[in-house]
Chain A
Amino acid sequence: MDQLETAARYDFASGHNPPSIGNACDARRMLGVPLDAHLLVIEDDAMIAWMVESLLEDLGFSSISLAASGEDAVAAALVRAPGLIISDIHLGSGMDGVTAAATIVSACSAPVIFITGYSIAQARPRVEAAVQGASLLRKPIQSAELETAIVHAFSARGAH
């Protein structure tokens, strides 16, 4: 691992490009959003988790934890309380995203954004019953939708 990290980065494929000018503008536009907030992403699929992480980095966030299961997410939240949770709903076997987010929020209140492959109509009643004020995005997600949901999550929070 260490050897890989220090291996020559001769290619362009780091996946962690420095923010471009466009990204900097995006970050400035996200008024009222604390970019130093710690984000917890709960998603069992590595590619989707990576994409969400990358989109969040592009928006200007730098403190992001990834959890592949509900159990891992709850454990991660105990180590560091998240300022925002972004979670898939279905996480394979074990605790699902709604239960994980509700468990975490009951201990340290944080806004929650769910991303789901289920139909929104199917997921909404359960999500709303479990986590008040949570928003719901459909897979596959788009950067603009995610950004809007994040701005909304923090502004709704500020209004409380």
Chain B
Amino acid sequence: MSELHDLRSESLGSVLRTALDAVVVMRTDGTIAGWNDVAERTFGWSFRDASGRRMSDLIIPERFRADHEKGLAHFLATGEGPVLNQHIEIHALHRDGRELPVELSITQTSQFGEPVFLGFLRDISERHEAALRQDLMIGELNHRVKNLLGVVAGIAHMTAKSSASLADFEPAFSGRLMALGKAHEILTAATWERASLQTLVDDLLGTMATADPPRATANGPNILLEPKHVLSVSMILHELMTNALKYGALSVPNGHISLSWAVDHKGLSIEWLETGLVLLEQLQRKGFGTKMIERTVAHELKGTSETHWRPDGLTFRFSFTPTTGG
């Protein structure tokens, strides 16, 4: 059918043979005349398999074949070839049936003795996957931002409800936002994988722990928490801290906070111990912060919490099951 003899990889000429792209030479009748080593690797057909077969049957997904044949006939009849001499991204077919995204450029040449089409194809699966991953991440980021706005709206709404005046609202709201911001910072530093409870606690206690003598001490084993638990625990600890500053151990000269945690078969228990207080009734609070803590423990951590009042202070303990592994 063709006067052109087969163009094995060796006879394609050194330039085409050593090309880093798959090179496919197609006769004007649509059959394959040449096929380099990269083409063999990219599409899974040896030159022997491919030689003389219709190119469209071999490497063009079925849904594009009719268009390809029509385009070829149109070019041969009119000389118009809109896909020639440019780079296009398209899907090609591998021998095993999977499709791969390729960047394709087609030129026409007569250098092999008769007019043929010379196709250069580059497998761009990796670039494609990176782009898909990026789209996914942007979508996830968008979702996360909107969810975070929902949380901020919730905090604003509930803080406003519990504030007697704007003067009360402002510090309470901005304090909660800052706690949320810090938790996000810790999670970002941990690339939104697990983050250490110790880091969270160090950040929360800050100068309270480094003062001499310290106003707060922390003690517990190294444990990593999943992102949503990091957010929940940080909001809980923030409320405990705020209460301690306003009414508790950090509102009196000799008060002290001892924060400790332990892991056993039931899960993680975090204990917040305030000492050095004298006025018990001042401590018996059922404010917004306390409600927020109870709700966060029950709703987000699916855990339990309890408070014990003592003449000189209080112990607040909450327990939940952190996910393991990761």
Contacts and interface: CB of A to CB of B under 8 A. Distances in A.
Contacts of A117: 142-147, 150
B189 to A, nearest CB: 22
Nearest to B176: A47
Interface string B164-182: 1000000000000000000
Given A13-B287, A47-B151, A140-B149, A3 B309 contact: yes
Nearest to A7: B284
Contact of B154 (A11, A13, A47): A47
Nearest to B143: A117
Nearest to B299: A46
Contact of A15 (B139, B151, B152, B158): B158
Contacts, number: 112
Interface string B286-320: 11111110111011101001110100000000000
B162 A13 contact: yes
B71 to A, nearest CB: 33
Contact of B296 (A15, A46, A138): A46
Given A117-B143, A117-B147, A92 B228 contact: yes
Size bin of chain A's contact surface: 35 or more
Contacts of A15: 158, 161-162, 288, 291
B270 to A, nearest CB: 17
A142 to B, nearest CB: 9
**Majority DSSP secondary structure for residues of B touching A:** helix
B161 to A, nearest CB: 6
B287 A139 contact: no
Contacts of A90: 143, 147
B288 A13 contact: yes
Nearest to A5: B286
Interface in A46-63: 46-51, 54-55
A107 interface: no
A4 B147 CA distance: 31
A14 B291 CA distance: 8
Interface of B: 139, 142-147, 149-155, 157-158, 161-164, 228, 232, 281, 284-292, 294-296, 298-300, 302, 305-307, 309
14 contacts: A4-B307, A10-B285, A11-B285, A11-B286, A13-B163, A15-B158, A17-B161, A45-B150, A46-B292, A46-B295, A46-B299, A66-B299, A119-B142, A139-B146
